[in-house]
Amino acid sequence: MITKNEKKNLVQESPPAMADPSPSPSPKPTNSSSSKTTIMDLSEDSLAHCAAYLSPRDLTNLALSCKSLKRAAYCDFIWHRCFRAHWPEQAIQSLSQASGGAREAYLARRAAVQQFKFVDPLAADFYTIAKSIDHVVLDKNDIFFSQGSLIQTMKINRFLGGKDFVTTLSDHNARITCMRLFSLNETSFLRSETQRKENFLATSSSDHSIRLWWKGSCQRCFRGHNGPVSTLSDKLLSDGASASKVLASGGEDGTVRLWSLGSGGKRGQHALKSTLYGHEKPIKLVSVAGHRTSLLVTISNDSKVCLL
């Protein structure tokens, strides 16, 4: 039994009642899968536009994933784009003649190019003077070849336009012994940024000279060998002392000579930087090392090899 005084004390000692906080509303369950957009939610047109930026290999992998993505990966829009990116000049003609769609036309053209089975859209016979052709080099759509002391230049773009396309360069006085193409970006000929991808032609001759050709004319002539110049280096040497490039030549006098192609514009013997000795027989090959363009290897007629 609890007396009245004990009840009174219990009431006084008990802490004041606190109001229960209202319970926070429980979050409604959400369906995460319904709030996200997957690749399968895109229309076929949207898929095709996105897939157009993939490589052919990635398109093949995409087509193997499922049937709906295969339809998007094989649509003509994508393969038209691939065809035009690789062969813009043949795109209209080849795609118009394709019976199996743009993808089949692309694959057939690629296989033909890789296997050299395609029929070239340009087939023409060019007749030259009755002399043997000693050397030939190809620079984009320009063909250079030598016949004796002459250099013949054929410009295919001018031929297609119905214009005169053959030019004869006759500055050499004896048989041309070597022809090389080098980037214009590595010489003082460069005048503007648009010329960085152009090349110039270098030739050596039995007339003891080396000539550099650009824009259809001789820009420089180097003389210094005591006899015919037999060969030119396959690449330009780097000059450690400056940013200019150096052309190496080998002669029947057994010497290797280095010629400056820098901005000084020096000609003749003034462009001669150095003369290297070590061979007793005519030099037949001059090659620049690929890993270090300051290294040079030469071979002469007696099979002697020198590393310079």
114 vs 247, more confident: 247
Instruction: Report residue 303 as tokens.
Output: 């099979």
112 vs 307, more confident: 307
In a domain, 89, yes or no: yes
pLDDT at 182: 93
Q: What are phi and psi of 21, to 5 degrees?
A: -65, 145
Q: Are residues 54 and 195 in the same domain?
A: no
pLDDT at 3 over 60: no
Q: What is the C-alpha to C-alpha distance for residues 249 and 111, in angstroms, rounded to an integer? A: 41
| % pLDDT > 90, the chain | 36
Least confident of 34-38, 72-76, 104-108, 278-282: 34-38
Residue located via tokens 């007396």 = 3
Four-residue CA torsion sign, 267, 270, 274, 279 = positive
Region 229-253: mean pLDDT is 88
pLDDT at 277: 94
pLDDT at 97: 65
Q: Are residues 84 and 173 in the same domain?
A: no
Q: Are residues 188 and 294 in the same domain?
A: yes
* CA gyration radius, the chain: 38
Interior angle at CA 306, CA 260 and CA 286, nearest 5: 45
Region 29-56: mean pLDDT is 72
Q: Which of 13-22, 87-96, 151-160 has the highest mean pLDDT?
A: 151-160
Q: Are residues 158 and 102 in the same domain?
A: no
Q: Are residues 276 and 200 in the same domain?
A: yes
Q: Are residues 174 and 99 in the same domain?
A: no
Residues 6+ apart with CB under 8 A from 112: 118
In a domain, 3, yes or no: no
> Total structural domains in the chain?
2
Q: Are residues 99 and 188 in the same domain?
A: no
In a domain, 34, yes or no: no
pLDDT at 4 over 90: no
Region 59-64: mean pLDDT is 84
Distances (CA, A) of 167 to 3, 13, 150, 152: 132, 119, 10, 6
In a domain, 261, yes or no: yes
Q: Are residues 148 and 264 in the same domain?
A: yes
Region 134-163: mean pLDDT is 91
In a domain, 274, yes or no: yes
65 vs 24, more confident: 65
Residue located via tokens 């109001």 = 19
SS3 105: helix
Q: Are residues 220 and 80 in the same domain?
A: no
* CATH code of 203's domain: 2.130.10.10
Q: What is the C-alpha to C-alpha distance for residues 265 and 219, in angstroms, rounded to an integer? A: 10
Q: What is the C-alpha to C-alpha distance for residues 80 and 77, in angstroms, rounded to an integer? A: 5
Q: Per residue in 188-233, pLDDT tens?
A: 776 677 777 889 999 999 999 999 999 889 999 999 999 999 999 9
pLDDT at 267: 56
Q: Per residue in 272-297, pLDDT tens?
A: 999 999 999 999 999 998 888 889 99
Instruction: Give yes or no for a contact between 303 and 281, defined as CB atoms under 8 angstroms apart.
Output: no
Q: Are residues 299 and 194 in the same domain?
A: yes
In a domain, 164, yes or no: yes
Total-model pTM: 0.61
Alpha-helix runs per DSSP H in 139-297? 156-160
Q: Are residues 105 and 245 in the same domain?
A: no
Name the amino acid, one letter, at 132. Answer: S
Please give the mean pLDDT across all residues of the chain: 81
Work out the end-to-end distance of the chain between its first and last CA atoms, rounded to an integer number of angstroms: 120
Domain of 186 in residue numbering reads as 135-307
Q: What is the C-alpha to C-alpha distance for residues 254 and 238, in angstroms, rounded to an integer? A: 22
Q: What is the C-alpha to C-alpha distance for residues 127 and 187, in angstroms, rounded to an integer? A: 34
Q: What is the C-alpha to C-alpha distance for residues 275 and 269, in angstroms, rounded to an integer? A: 11
Q: Are residues 50 and 156 in the same domain?
A: no
In a domain, 25, yes or no: no
pLDDT at 111: 83
Q: Per residue in 94-135, pLDDT tens?
A: 666 666 688 888 888 888 777 766 555 566 778 888 889 999
In a domain, 226, yes or no: yes
